[in-house]
Chain A
Amino acid sequence: DVKVTQSSRYLVKRTGEKVFLECVQDMDHENMFWYRQDPGLGLRLIYFSYDVKMKEKGDIPEGYSVSREKKERFSLILESASTNQTSMYLCASSFGGTRETQYFGPGTRLLVL
């Protein structure tokens, strides 16, 4: 079974802090994704990566950056956290194309105070 893990289930940070969310997958998938999920807005794609060191902006990249130094790990970085970044963050990975079946991690619920 594919396993996607995220570094934290719950996280509380202060406004202005730099926040790192880590995601690791164990199935050698080329593609990895970061989404945020908010009530009434569904899942929105922040960034995705189709290879090591490659990244593409999603629909809402502002205020975020990503890093993919190793194939199994995809990090989401909030350079200076703001209260409007309070959300559920979901990481996913996929094999083959970026439009194929995605395997999700359990999510990180981030609260920015």
Chain B
Amino acid sequence: SQQGEEDPQALSIQEGENATMNCSYKTSINNLQWYRQNSGRGLVHLILIRSNEREKHSGRLRVTLDTSKKSSSLLITASRAADTASYFCATDAWGAQKLVFGQGTRLTINP
């Protein structure tokens, strides 16, 4: 089963609204990352948050991490049409040599 699982699977909002996506994982991690993928393209790294951090900001992005609940959220404020994409969380379980990606949240921003 996936280490990281995003929720919801799909989200559709109006331009200007905030979008929140969640990621849950099963085992202890060193870090958790969020990536964006535009349709038919490769993934682009957005932000990395380490297990000893609780919150991180990057422009209109805000990521939180709750290691006690094994969950993370990605908030995109003041959404734009260009934010339409799939968003993936990726985790590195302790002892693993790799990242494990969730199945993603498909975000659609309606003009």
Is there an interface contact between A99 and B88, defined as CB atoms closer than 8 Å? no
Contact count A vs B, C-beta below 8 Å: 56
Chain B residue contacts of A45, Cβ below 8 A: 98
B43 within 8 A of partner (CB): yes
Q: A56-B97, A58-B98, A99-B98 are in contact. Are A105 and B42 (CB under 8 A)?
A: yes
Is there an interface contact between A43 and B45, defined as CB atoms closer than 8 Å? no
Chain B residue contacts of A106, Cβ below 8 A: 41-42
Q: Which residues of A contact B (CB under 8 A)?
A: 4, 33, 35, 40-43, 45, 48, 50, 56, 58, 88, 90, 92, 98-107, 109
Q: Which residues of B contact A (CB under 8 A)?
A: 2, 30-31, 33, 35, 40-45, 48, 88, 90, 92, 96-99, 101-104
